[in-house]
Amino acid sequence: MPATVIVGAQWGDEGKGKIVDLLAQDSDLVCRYQGGPNAGHTIVVGEETYKIRAVPSGIIRGKPSAIGAGCVIDPAVLFAELDDLEARGHRTAGLVFVSGNAHLIMPWHVALDGARERKLGNLQIGTTRRGIGPAYADKATRIGIRVQDVLDPKILRAKIELAIAEKNVWLERVYGLEPFDPAEVVATYEGYAVRLRPYVADTSLLVDRALREGKRVLFEGAQGTLLDLDHGTYPFVTSSSPIAAGAAVSFGIGPNRIDEVLGVSKAYVTRVGEGPFPSEIEGPAQERVRELGGEFGTVTGRERRCGWLDLVALRYAVRLNGMTSLALTKLDVLSTFAELPVCVRYRLPDGSETEEFPAHQSDFHHCRPVFETLQGWEEELEGPALPEAALGYVRFVGGALGVPVTLVGTGQARDAVLALS
């Protein structure tokens, strides 16, 4: 189908990078629609491992790759990534397009992100401290600095001076940190302008034209559905919209231009940082899943919390995204378990049970998982067909959600994916 959104169906780290990499082969344009350099998709190609933060993963397949208006960009991180890609033989010039409307992460955003988290202590959100939340906050406050601002030195200077006057007060008076020197920041960002200029593009027009010409456009989100700013488990969320509709907003196209929404979910669940997590595994099995799945943050190295598959949360993801199919990744990680609990309902504090994700935060915080135990397969997932019990697990998930599971991840390698009909 011409326009497909690939969306994380859980709390991020679902293995979207690998699925995007797979679908990018048959795409003409790959578009990243939200988030900043906190994403960290991992793509393994033979001996090479790519950990991509800013540029859409399509670049590994040599596909034109666009970064939409809904993203925030740290130029230093972007340039380092472009350099790394070039050094490994991937051309980026003429293939990477950056929306002039995307916002820039400024040094005070990084400083404030860290200072705020430190001050929150036990109540911290668990951000990656890369300035992403503060950059989105400034976008909403209308004092953000956009990619296109660096192209005009006068505008750049005026905007930096305006923002810095306020930020320095916060940094000094609230957090006791050193202020930034406007002249220094202007000089740094003027330097970035030279490098950024050739990449700046009208990404709305780019996508519109591609779709009119019948080309296949793939949209990739970062993070996942339950981290959505509006519909996720606020405040333990990201500061943008990972849900599929975010793709249309970020690229300035109508929602009716999107044909397919492919959700990506692990065969279990992980969550980074704080917040409620009903299906979190109790006992040593959690550590076992973490080790088998290599569940440590791509960017931060932090341990991910691990849970059994949560169909209540996944059903919510189907609804929020208008999901038309599902990719179930990392099924191989469950291969050594004799029994596999799957969370099918939540028991609410009043004793009632529901299959629907609670609309009220207190219900979600205090609900308990109701598990159904499925049979494990206890053999490796090799070859072109899944063992009977593994297929049973996959069919159970698809049936409960009313969405076909079309892809199954059976290993870390690029080609360890089975297509199901």
Applying CB under 6 A, which residues contact ligand GDP?
Answer: 8, 13-18, 39-42, 44, 294, 298, 329-330, 332-333, 409-412, 416
Q: CB–CB of 344/279 below 8 Å? A: no
State how far the alpha carbon of 263 is from the alpha carbons of 4, 189, 225, 276, 421, in Å: 10, 37, 9, 22, 16
CA distance 296 to 270: 10
Q: Which is nearer to ligand GDP, 200 or 417 (CB)?
A: 417
Q: Where are the beta strands (DSSP E) in 111-215?
A: 200-201
CB of residue 344 vs ligand GDP: minimum separation in angstroms?
23
Residue closest to 267 by CA, chosen among 382, 378, 405, 388 = 405
CB of residue 412 vs ligand GDP: minimum separation in angstroms?
4
CB of residue 413 vs ligand GDP: minimum separation in angstroms?
8
Q: Which is nearer to ligand GDP, 138 or 332 (CB)?
A: 332
Query: Closest-CB residue for ligand GDP?
Result: 409
CB of residue 378 vs ligand GDP: minimum separation in angstroms?
16
CA distance 195 to 197: 6
Q: Is 13 a catalytic residue?
A: yes
**Which residues have C-beta within 8 Å of that of residue 128, sequence separation ≥ 6?**
38, 299, 300
Q: Which is nearer to ligand GDP, 2 or 68 (CB)?
A: 68
CB of residue 228 vs ligand GDP: minimum separation in angstroms?
15
Residue closest to 390 by CA, chosen among 405, 412, 371 = 405
Task: Note if the bond before 341 is cis, omega within 30 degrees.
Answer: no
Provide the CA 352 distance to its chain's centre, in angstroms: 33
Length of the chain, in residues? 421
Catalytic position from the list 21, 41, 103, 231: 41
Catalytic position from the list 13, 21, 113, 138: 13
Residue closest to 246 by CA, chosen among 214, 220, 272 = 220
One-letter amino acid at 47 equals E
Q: Which is nearer to ligand GDP, 7 or 112 (CB)?
A: 7
β pairing state of 305-307 and 417-419: unpaired
Question: Considering all CA atoms of the chain, what is the largest pairwise distance in Å, rounded to the nearest integer?
Answer: 66
One-letter amino acid at 147 equals V
Q: Is 41 a catalytic residue?
A: yes
CA distance 329 to 294: 13
CB of residue 43 vs ligand GDP: minimum separation in angstroms?
7
CB count within 10 Å of CB 257 equals: 16
CB of residue 49 vs ligand GDP: minimum separation in angstroms?
8
Q: Which is nearer to ligand GDP, 228 or 332 (CB)?
A: 332
CA distance 409 to 411: 6
CA distance 416 to 380: 12
CB of residue 35 vs ligand GDP: minimum separation in angstroms?
10
Q: Which is nearer to ligand GDP, 11 or 236 (CB)?
A: 11
Q: Which is nearer to ligand GDP, 60 or 333 (CB)?
A: 333
State how far the alpha carbon of 22 is from the alpha carbons of 2, 90, 210, 218, 257, in Å: 16, 17, 20, 11, 22
Q: Which is nearer to ligand GDP, 90 or 157 (CB)?
A: 90
Q: Which string of DSSP letters, residue by residue, matches 233-289?
A: STTSS-SS--STHHHHHHHT--GGG--EEEEEEESSEEE-SSS--TTBPPSTHHHHH
One-letter amino acid at 371 equals F
Q: What is the set of active-site residues?
A: 13, 41
